[in-house]
């Protein structure tokens, strides 16, 4: 099938490339000429394991192309996906839908013949109705249907998630559009993922409900970790015991510095705002948002406490800046709150991240960025592990200690055993462990 992907950011690029890898003809569109020029040169603007090779292979086989010409791409397409950004709007936290609606107007002007318009971006309930109204108003003569097909891609594992999904949610009422969407995902039939057809509004809400529930699990185990520290329990044992219950499951029960990234923060805020607007407040999700914000700020206090209550004039080394491993995404990363608080407290901050430093430099002007973990800890009074990159899991601890001015190790991801750290002479603290 011929597919146009409007938006070549994280969701659009990964989705477009994977559709092309299924054998569809895909054109990825973006208004940013610099981004398109970079993609045409084979330069991938985001870090996602395996994405660069997949892009190169599908471009080489002429199944994937890039352009700034939306009109031409849409005119040739049978299916047009909208995968533009929906950032949190300043002031109220609601999703900014201006990019969605602008794309809908541009698409309406360009479609020829029956076209299925699909919102791939995460959008509040009712957005599809408005997209449908805009297209119909802009082009009364157009033959089209509007569907919702939310993405469930984990950064760092997005390609595998797309090709081996737990489920594919499609919100559609038009029978012809349902057939088209079935054909779009037909290459996945071999893996037999559930292709779940629902009404459009339910599809839109499923994405928000799923992300908010997972954010709740993360926040719940973080609060349990705080209780574990008070009562002398081990949060890892507690989480493992909980996860053995099939009704609960083990995923997203890893205590840490709080959630960040492109999805959980903005999706929980948007769902809270939607619920408030419809006089159905979601008190649990409201609490999740508030607790997570406090937790990220509290991580700096842990580091300061490990340094004897003051970091003024001291050097703190941070390993990991991205909100999670295997991505360069700095959006709402816990490291941002940590760096801000440490800077306010008078610390000198050194940092190293395998992939996120280019992004971090734009938002952390006072940080000294280092070449590797050992360069980062040189002369430091404290080392905090903020992101659980694989290369931080087996550091040469004796060497680390010899390079530091003081052997304070704050493990915000619980990747080391307390006994091992202390055996090498560190003053060690972690999350939710006695």
The torsion angle over the Cα atoms of residues 328, 330, 333 and 339, rounded to 10 degrees, is 110
Spatial CA neighbour of 432 closest among 241, 223, 291, 244 = 223
Ordered alpha helix ranges (H), 248-396: 264-277, 283-306, 334-344, 357-361, 373-377
Give the ranges where 232-282 is alpha helix by DSSP (H). 235-243, 264-277
Q: What are phi and psi of 136, to 5 degrees?
A: -65, -35
Enumerate the active-site residues: 263
User: From CA 377, how far away is CA 351, in angstroms rounded?
Assistant: 8
Sign of CA dihedral 264, 267, 273, 277: negative
Asked whether the beta carbons of 3 and 19 are under 8 A apart, the reply is yes
Q: State the first-to-last Cα distance of the chain, in angstroms, to the nearest integer.
A: 57
Cα angle for residues 52, 57, 58 (degrees, 5° grid): 105
């Amino acid at each position: 099938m011929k597919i146009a992907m409007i938006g070549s950011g994280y969701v659009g690029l990964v989705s477009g490339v994977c559709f092309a890898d299924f054998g569809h003809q895909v054109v990825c569109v973006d208004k940013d000429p610099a981004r398109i020029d970079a993609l045409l040169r084979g330069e991938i603007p985001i870090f996602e394991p395996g994405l660069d090779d997949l892009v190169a292979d599908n471009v080489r086989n002429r199944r994937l192309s890039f352009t700034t010409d939306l009109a031409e791409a849409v005119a040739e397409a049978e299916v047009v996906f909208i995968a533009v950004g929906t950032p949190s709007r300043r002031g109220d936290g609601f999703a900014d839908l201006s990019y969605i609606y602008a794309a809908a107007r541009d698409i309406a002007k360009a479609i020829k013949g029956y076209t299925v318009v699909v919102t791939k971006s995460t959008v509040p309930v009712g957005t599809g109705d408005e997209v449908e109204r805009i297209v119909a108003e802009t082009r009364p003569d157009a033959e089209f249907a509007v569907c919702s097909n939310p993405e469930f891609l984990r950064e760092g594992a997005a390609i595998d998630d797309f090709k081996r999904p737990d489920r594919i949610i499609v919100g559609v009422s038009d029978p012809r559009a349902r057939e088209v969407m079935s054909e779009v995902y037909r290459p996945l039939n071999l893996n037999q993922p559930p292709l779940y057809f629902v009404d459009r509004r339910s599809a839109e809400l499923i994405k928000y409900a799923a992300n908010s529930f997972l954010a709740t699990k993360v926040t719940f185990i973080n609060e349990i970790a705080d209780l574990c520290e008070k009562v002398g329990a081990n949060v890892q044992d507690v989480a493992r015991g909980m996860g053995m219950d099939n009704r609960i499951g083990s995923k997203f029960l890893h205590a840490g510095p709080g959630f960040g990234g492109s999805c959980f923060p903005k999706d929980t805020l948007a769902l809270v705002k939607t619920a408030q607007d419809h006089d159905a407040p979601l008190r649990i999700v409201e609490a999740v948002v508030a607790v997570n914000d406090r937790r990220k700020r509290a991580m700096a206090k842990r580091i300061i406490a490990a340094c004897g209550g003051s970091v003024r004039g001291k050097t703190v080394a941070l390993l990991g800046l991205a909100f999670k491993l295997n991505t360069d995404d700095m959006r709402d990363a816990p490291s941002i709150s940590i760096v801000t608080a440490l800077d306010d407290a008078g610390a000198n901050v050194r940092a190293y991240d395998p992939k996120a430093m280019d992004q971090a430099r734009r938002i952390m002007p006072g940080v000294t960025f280092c070449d590797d973990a050992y360069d980062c800890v040189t002369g430091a009074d404290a080392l905090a592990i903020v992101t659980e990159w694989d290369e931080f899991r087996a550091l040469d601890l004796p060497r680390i200690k010899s390079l530091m001015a003081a052997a304070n190790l704050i493990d915000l991801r619980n990747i080391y055993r307390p006994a091992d750290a202390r055996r090498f002479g560190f003053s060690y603290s972690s999350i939710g462990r006695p």
